[in-house]
Chain A
């Protein structure tokens, strides 16, 4: 007979059971139903649906803008987190709380507000219109909305890591004569990188599926500013569930791969850092 393992922390069975049930009911079963719906189509139909010119164009728009927005957020998010962790200034608590507003605001409200602001008659839009730059109803507009949606992910991923980072390493590096940029590159950034990647991955996954805010600012012109979630909505409008789920599945798999890749990079980083 095997030795019965005894865990120090009790309730493993109960909590693991609840975890599995939650995951199955809330995540796995709905996702499995996606696969079931898609499986009602023949393979050639699926390929035909996915390779339609318009669907491909929407993939390019969605993936392109989500990637760009997440990249912008990765940079800006680190700066924001840095300011919020390292400096003390009046109103810091309020600023810190504001970071989460994009989570709380209904996305449609965000979309409408951003659109009226950036349309060529709007406050911000009219300024850029003078230089012939249109924001609302272009890919720039979509990116703006996605930056808004994604920023809390990066900030909240980086913040706790920065808080734990001991400034004495930086001081030591400074004493040893490293330049400021070198301190950032070789002392601070390696510590932050995994968190930045996590934030990037989360923001990217979120942006890919974002519908509520983007439809208002996108203009939705086929081949130009039509996002994939909108294509999915129009398939649903035709009561064509299987095409809709087939396209959705592609987005889901890509998002999963990206998150998986991010985790891989993170694991590798941790290994290099020897912890």
Chain B
């Protein structure tokens, strides 16, 4: 599987993502800087987490207007798989590639802990290696992960099975509406999620529950 990791000033989880992708796919991803206007031919594009542009204006707002995001949007329109994790999720929302918005955590606190996630839709390109309804462990680390969508948008997301992951067992860390932790776009090729599956992919991490997300993609790309 060929993959690309987008890099922007302030993103700091790119190393973890590169390590996870390299370990699981057996091939190191290409890294692409924010000023690039074209992306190489890849099966998967990942926007990792961090604090792009210091979270100025709104989380992900400045990053979403950088040249590389136009290239990401063009690839996404052609059906290339795209994953945004944490700040990457915020960037995808700000770029209009996913519906809704992420707001300040209801607690107003930065949360850094492990949560439980339920695989709400195991029939996506990113979740097919999980069992439907499976509960997995996953770490979160964010200040603005409180998912919000207007009622009509939320009804569409829920009705079309676009919710990929939900916080489970009372572990919603941020006040997200309907416990939403991750969503896909209408076409099903763009995923955004607040938790960090790349940080739970080998025994040394204390668990491997995040691995199946990448293996789902690997299965499709193979």
Partners in one complex: no
- The residues of B with any CB-CB pair to A shorter than 8 Å are none
- The residues of A with any CB-CB pair to B shorter than 8 Å are none
